[in-house]
Homo-oligomer: A and B are copies of this chain.
Amino acid sequence: MKLDSAGLEILSGGECLNLLASAPIGRIVFTDRALPAVQPVNFCLLDGNIVIRTAPGSKLAAAARNAVVAFEADDFDATFRTGWSVTAVGHARAVSEPEEIARLSALPLTPWVPGTHDHFIVMAPEQISGRRLSR
């Protein structure tokens, strides 16, 4: 078990992806009018990429267009003070090819909020890191 300077277990890339796949919700971190912004989203992993579904005119859709974003998921137990977190950083892109939209539409990724969410954002992690806190 490899520990970082804070005493947290450093997770491997494979563990990070497995934990990400287990999370129903993640948080996309981006810049909105030069300010740091963060938004919880449900998501799906496809071939190691993070797929998010949003409304076409949303702030997120605009901000994540060809931007470098971070994506974070975690799960902590406040009673036992244990848990994990995984952060991925990479370029986000808006999906515009009809074939890719059709493929992504078939994913088990349904919006939690009502309304049209036929805009897909895909982020290919260039860096992925994770930490686990155990007893």
| A113 in the interface (beta carbon within 8 A) | yes
Choose from B31, B55, B89 the contact partner of A6 (Cβ within 8 Å). B55
B37 touches A87 (CB 8 A): yes
Instruction: Please state the number of chain copies in the assembly.
Output: 2
> Contacts A24-B78, A35-B89 hold; do A113 and B7 have CB atoms under 8 A apart?
yes
A30 to B38 CA separation, bound complex (whole angstroms):
10
| A36 in the interface (beta carbon within 8 A) | yes
B27 touches A76 (CB 8 A): no
What residues of chain B lie closer than 8 Å to A115, measured between beta carbons?
6-7
Select from chain B the residue with minimum beta-carbon distance to A117: B6
| A128 in the interface (beta carbon within 8 A) | no
| A8 in the interface (beta carbon within 8 A) | yes
What residues of chain B lie closer than 8 Å to A6, measured between beta carbons?
55, 58, 113, 115
| A133 in the interface (beta carbon within 8 A) | yes
A74 touches B40 (CB 8 A): yes
A residues sitting closer than 8 Å to B (CB atoms) are 5-8, 24-25, 27, 29-31, 35-40, 55, 58, 68-70, 72, 74, 76, 78, 81, 83, 85, 87, 89, 112-115, 133
State the 4 A-B residue pairs at the shortest beta-carbon distance, nearest first: A24-B78, A36-B70, A38-B72, A81-B112
